[in-house]
Structure 1
Amino acid sequence: MKFSTPLMSALCLAVASGWACADQVMPAPPELASGYRTGLQPVHANRHMAAAANPLATEAGRAMLRAGGSAIDAAIAMQMVLTLVEPQSSGIGGGAFILYWDGKRVQAFDGRETAPAQVTEKLFLQADGSPMPFKTAQIGGRSVGVPGVLRALKLAHEQHGKLPWQQLFAPAIALARNGFPVSERLHTLVAGDPYIRRSPSMARYFLDEKGKPLPVGTRLRNPELAQTFEQIAAHGPRAFYTGEIAGAIVAKVRSHANAGYLSLQDLEQYRAKEREPVCGPYKAWRICGMPPPSSGGVTVLQTLGVLEAVQRATPQRDLAALRPLANASPAGLEASPLAVHLIAEAERLAYADRAQYLADSDYVPVPVKGLIDATYLASRAALIGEYSMKRARPGTPQGADLAMAPDRSPLRISTSHLSAVDDSGQALAMTTSVEAAFGAHLMVKGFLLNNHLTDFSFLPQEHGKPVANRVEPGKRPLSAMAPTLVFSRNSGELVASLGSPGGSQIIGYVNKALVGLLDWQLDPQQASSLPNFGSRNAATEVEAQLTSPALIRQLAAWGHEVTPMTMTSGMQIIQRDTNGWSGGADPRREGVALGD
């Protein structure tokens, strides 16, 4: 998507001047920008650390760690507070992916939403067979999937929790009853959303008596959510998936003008799943991510594997030698032109495979091993040359099902990420989402419902071939969420926990942070603050107002179609250092890392 910013105008000059700009239309960022904080420094701790997208959530997580809680205890407390203070991004009405390290093994907990049993693959098709406009599909009950985050948190807590389940809800219940100050970011997101005023329950909550967004600092109370939390705290997730709360969810979904298909049986039958994480080598490290139905783990490992293969073939293209350069933006640094070129080209290849092969592996065969095989990635790396390939084609990994059509859907995911490390060294990376900002715009019992069914391909087939990520009953839609854990290949010890929101750009944000931490030896704050860049197999995207004209000139000379744009990541990073842990939070949002 093109942005009419002063920087864009200055950069998209005549072709004769050596500039190139993309004409591909990419989806808008899932959340509006709300500024870029300067002067941030990494936070240090020697015992434990929590990091979340809002300071109140981080404080709740640290309180659980101080009470002797585990990383999953901290995550549950943080998620409940985020449901209250960052409702546009995540909450109990949505889903989540959790990576957990218990000191011996990595586990992947899948709390992704599922499609109701009554849907068909034509869910988002209009009468003439064309796909619905995104907003038509998003707003209302049609897009609501069965929420999964509570079941996933409970599954992980049963294995690794140290504090009682009920205790973990105390901070969120207190904040919901007593109120919290509306942050600048929440105010900005409410002000930029024209659909809130069309939802009576949301308008009553987020707007004043004149229909204006509540001013920054207004104390916002949510007693209805406090009651919901109290029921779930006392009776577990069953209080959400059955009974009064479940009945209210189903009634809201089915009574909307754009009604959905969610049923009481869908809610009662939902189960989170424990899956095998996707892990692979990158130089001296072992990187672990989420398996399908998330594409995050596979696509990140593909990108890194291609970059390592490029280095083996051409040592002067080793990213470790291509350290960031100083620039005059608030970030102070930016990646070098050759580093951006290599990473963007590797991402094109990975995103091409993602669109062709990735989906819910319970429904379609996903060639995970073939996609991250070193020989296959070396063959893909050989396609990267001096000039941009502009648009990559999918490869043919071992085990590929060639009967599928690629998914060309634009992805928009409004998301949050949190990380935690506890006193015993257990660690968590969790990315959690309601999909678009404010989800389906349906508010029930004090929380918002997701619109995650729009993460499916709207078109079920192309040219007679089925799309792997088409809508099917009970299926989980493809996601770009990429919670990531990093380990030393020599010692096996945990090196870092990280992840980011940002829709289909999440993978690029995580790639940038991993290269920053591992290759460029940046601290967690520097890696979070570094200007974003990458490619989703269309334009080469760079972060407007943080990227220098010199960098864009060089990319254009190498054939890149460059699009400066808003890239609202929300990176949270906890990294091991010599004295314990170091944390960094993305300056583009309001998160913090805290520890002792």
Structure 2
Amino acid sequence: MRTLFRTVSLIVSLLGALFCFTGCAGTPDSSGITYSVPPQPELPSGYNPKPGWETTEFAVAAANPLATDAGYQVINAGGSAVDAAIAIQMVLTLVEPQSSGIGGGAFLLNWDGNELKAYNGRETAPASADETYFLDENGNPLSYSEAVRSGLSPGIPGTVAMLYHAHQEQGILPWQELFKPAITLARDGFHVSPRLHGLLEADEALRQDSIARDLYYDENGEALPVGNLLKNPALAQLLQKIADEGPEAFYTGAAAESIVNRVRSHPRPGIMTVEDISVYRDREFEVEPMCNEWRLWLICGFPPPASGHLAIMQMLGIMEHLEIQGSSFINGLPAVEWLHFYLESAKLAYADRALYVADPLYVDAPAGDWQSLLKEDYLATRAALIGEQSMDTAQPGYPREEYSTAGMMEIQPESGTSHISVIDRQGNAVSMTTTIESAFGSRIMSDGGTGLPGGFHLNNELTDFSRAPVDEDGNLIANRVQGGKQPRSSMSPTLVFDRESGELIASLGSPGGAAIIHYTAKTMIGMFEWNLNPQQAIDLPNFVNYNGPTLLEEDRFPPALIEALRAMGHEVDESPLTSGLQAIRVTKNGYYGGADPRREGVVMGD
């Protein structure tokens, strides 16, 4: 039975019907997908419990019901998991513009039943960028906000080119068909959700961009209200060109020129060129996925410049060398001792991340192999550093006694992002995390050279580089800016397999900046160590450490637990920790999907 968002509650259904009185007719076509606009999301941001969804034939999970429904309709039209992911991404560009879109980048894992492939669509720095890129006239690094809200922060967008390449290998339906949902919604309009309204209202910098101001705000500078029918003609026309002509319509001609003009005309201009954009299409998109054993499972993710898989597997591996007295999970919460060990393991993993992880085309892996950070003897050595009291701040390790002269990168803000999980009727799976970095990226929009109102957001991905090229001792930082380089990422798209049979077990991932690593790890631990279903695992309160103070999801942990951690020497603060997890697990009857109650996502399937 089709699992619809409107089944979550009668109120949501009625509101969806109310908002759908215009623009909700289907778009019939003589062939291919016949797209019909579904009821739209009405639940506000905050924490809104989700039911979990059981399906038998396939499952689609995304961060917005309109996007999930686009993937659902694509699979029902005979499409593959990759086809569905493409349609979902194009809709997210429109309805969740704060988090991802064609102006950003993505990592996509695909399992076709026989082979696992990883497609890297991460943004790149302009060819002429160098280590002084984020330094001011006095040689000091720009502040994070100055760097983000500038023409310096956008990297060369990678999502469109990567998805086209993945479609050439894994697609079933024609490329053009996959754009129908997004084009329809952009042309005819969609209703502004509470989450989008709230983020628009809170963002003063976005109002400074002329395209964004005209698209999202009224003449008084007030954000469009919840339920407002928002049309985006520029995006509709650009998506139609990309559908008809392929990625050339984005990476050459008027669209590329518009991106460059917007970047270079900013008050703090960037140096991106049309050639920088054009040559991105010639990149090698396929990379070797990283797969590592953990207990009964094989966990697969992305190698650097992604840091997520390495950090997750380091944390899980270190924990395997620690002896925890009693149960690790009590009354729906991690036990205090287990949480102490986890947070200490995280410090060690994040210390290694800060020293080593960067674009592998520009830096060497420690001991010549990224797997050196996951060797049993190395993890055992790291685990031996954990005691009964917090170590405060961890130092990086040195696999095989090879000491690094690289500099330690300081913790920098990361945010934004969205996640998509799909398992299609053939059992093929996608786990894709996609981003424009901060909410609304660089706060620069492009109309794609259409001259029409609206457009898409340019990322601020280059602020994932270290803004300072050296540490306080003058050592070069691995993740510093260099021409053509991809910035380090925390994105952690994950596919899980049975170690013995090789059968697919789960697809999962999350947005959340540097906390993506913890959100994804928490969900895996919940499902595979604490025997929770995906929704229960996602619902667990979030807990985070970046090698410093511990952050716990506010109002989700009892005071006694917090005080117990403090007694162990942890500095503990509370924070909203708004994850956006999506997870699908294979069951004996089909699939069970979960979506994060902290965002608008849902799961659909038959």
Q: TM-score, normalised by structure 2?
A: 0.89
SS at match of 2:578: coil
SS at match of 1:414: coil
**Residue in structure 2 matching 1:435, options 434, 437, 455:** 437
SS at match of 2:436: strand
Answering whether residue 311 of structure 2 is matched by residue 299 of structure 1, we say yes
- For 2:466, the aligned partner's letter is S
Quote how far apart the aligned CAs of 1:489 are: 0.7
- For 1:448, the aligned partner's letter is H
Alpha-carbon displacement from aligned partner over 1:179-214 (angstroms, at most 9, x marks no partner)? 111001001111111112211111111112221011
Alpha-carbon displacement from aligned partner over 1:61-97 (angstroms, at most 9, x marks no partner)? 0111111111100000000000000000000000001
**Residue in structure 2 matching 1:82, options 87, 92, 96:** 92
Answering whether residue 487 of structure 2 is matched by residue 477 of structure 1, we say yes
Counting only pairs closer than 5 Å after superposition, residues 125-136 of structure 1 correspond to structure 2 as: 125-136=135-146
2:386 corresponds to which residue?
384
- For 2:339, the aligned partner's letter is V
1:109 corresponds to which residue?
119
Q: Aligned partners of 2:193 and 2:400: how far apart in 1? A: 49
Alpha-carbon displacement from aligned partner over 1:437-479 (angstroms, at most 9, x marks no partner)? 1011111121000011111001101223110000000000000
2:373 corresponds to which residue?
371
1:50 corresponds to which residue?
60
2:70 corresponds to which residue?
60
Answering whether residue 574 of structure 2 is matched by residue 570 of structure 1, we say no
2:420 corresponds to which residue?
418
Q: Is contact 1:111-1:272 (8 Å) kept?
A: no
2:551 corresponds to which residue?
541
Does the C-alpha gap of structure 1 residues 200 and 297 become closer, same or farther in structure 2, counting only changes over 3 Å?
same
Counting only pairs closer than 5 Å after superposition, residues 88-107 of structure 1 correspond to structure 2 as: 88-107=98-117
Alpha-carbon displacement from aligned partner over 1:106-145 (angstroms, at most 9, x marks no partner)? 2111100000012121111122222111111111311111
- For 1:350, the aligned partner's letter is A
Answering whether residue 324 of structure 2 is matched by residue 322 of structure 1, we say no
Counting only pairs closer than 5 Å after superposition, residues 584-595 of structure 1 correspond to structure 2 as: 584-595=594-605
SS at match of 1:301: helix
Q: Is contact 1:148-1:272 (8 Å) kept?
A: no
Alpha-carbon displacement from aligned partner over 1:222-244 (angstroms, at most 9, x marks no partner)? 01100000000001111100011
Q: Is contact 1:365-1:401 (8 Å) kept?
A: no
- For 2:308, the aligned partner's letter is G
1:456 corresponds to which residue?
465
Q: Aligned partners of 2:434 and 2:330: how far apart in 1? A: 30
Quote how far apart the aligned CAs of 1:434 are: 0.4
Q: Is contact 2:301-2:309 (8 Å) kept?
A: yes
* Aligned residue-pair number: 550
1:138 corresponds to which residue?
148
Q: Is contact 2:414-2:513 (8 Å) kept?
A: yes
Q: Aligned partners of 2:45 and 2:123: how far apart in 1? A: 28
RMSD: 1.3
Q: Is contact 1:95-1:433 (8 Å) kept?
A: yes
Quote how far apart the aligned CAs of 1:303 are: 0.8
Counting only pairs closer than 5 Å after superposition, residues 185-334 of structure 1 correspond to structure 2 as: 185-270=195-280, 271-310=283-322, 314=323, 316=325, 321-325=327-331, 333-334=332-333
Q: Is contact 1:182-1:215 (8 Å) kept?
A: yes
Q: Aligned partners of 1:439 and 1:272: how far apart in 2? A: 25
- For 1:225, the aligned partner's letter is L
Q: Aligned partners of 1:294 and 1:459: how far apart in 2? A: 20
SS at match of 2:439: coil
SS at match of 1:431: strand
Q: Aligned partners of 2:570 and 2:85: how far apart in 1? A: 41
Q: Aligned partners of 2:131 and 2:256: how far apart in 1? A: 25
Q: Aligned partners of 1:202 and 1:272: how far apart in 2? A: 33
- For 1:342, the aligned partner's letter is F
Q: Is contact 2:104-2:157 (8 Å) kept?
A: yes
- For 1:65, the aligned partner's letter is I
Q: Aligned partners of 2:399 and 2:553: how far apart in 1? A: 32
Quote how far apart the aligned CAs of 1:315 are: 6.0
1:344 corresponds to which residue?
343
Q: Is contact 1:409-1:458 (8 Å) kept?
A: no
SS at match of 1:251: helix
1:36 corresponds to which residue?
47
Q: TM-score, normalised by structure 1?
A: 0.91
- For 1:252, the aligned partner's letter is R
Answering whether residue 542 of structure 2 is matched by residue 522 of structure 1, we say no
Q: Aligned partners of 2:423 and 2:260: how far apart in 1? A: 37
**Percentage identity across paired residues of the two chains:** 50
Quote how far apart the aligned CAs of 1:272 are: 5.0
Does the C-alpha gap of structure 1 residues 343 and 409 become closer, same or farther in structure 2, counting only changes over 3 Å?
closer
Quote how far apart the aligned CAs of 1:168 are: 0.3
Q: Is contact 1:61-1:78 (8 Å) kept?
A: yes
Q: Is contact 1:366-1:400 (8 Å) kept?
A: no
Q: Aligned partners of 2:414 and 2:131: how far apart in 1? A: 20
SS at match of 1:108: strand
- For 2:271, the aligned partner's letter is Y
SS at match of 1:286: strand
Q: Is contact 2:324-2:337 (8 Å) kept?
A: no
Quote how far apart the aligned CAs of 1:338 are: 2.0
Q: Is contact 2:324-2:338 (8 Å) kept?
A: no
SS at match of 2:267: coil
Quote how far apart the aligned CAs of 1:401 are: 6.0
Quote how far apart the aligned CAs of 1:324 are: 4.1
- For 1:218, the aligned partner's letter is N
1:17 corresponds to which residue?
none
1:489 corresponds to which residue?
499
Q: Is contact 1:131-1:459 (8 Å) kept?
A: yes
Q: Aligned partners of 1:315 and 1:230: how far apart in 2? A: 56
Counting only pairs closer than 5 Å after superposition, residues 10-21 of structure 1 correspond to structure 2 as: none
Quote how far apart the aligned CAs of 1:297 are: 1.1
2:542 corresponds to which residue?
532
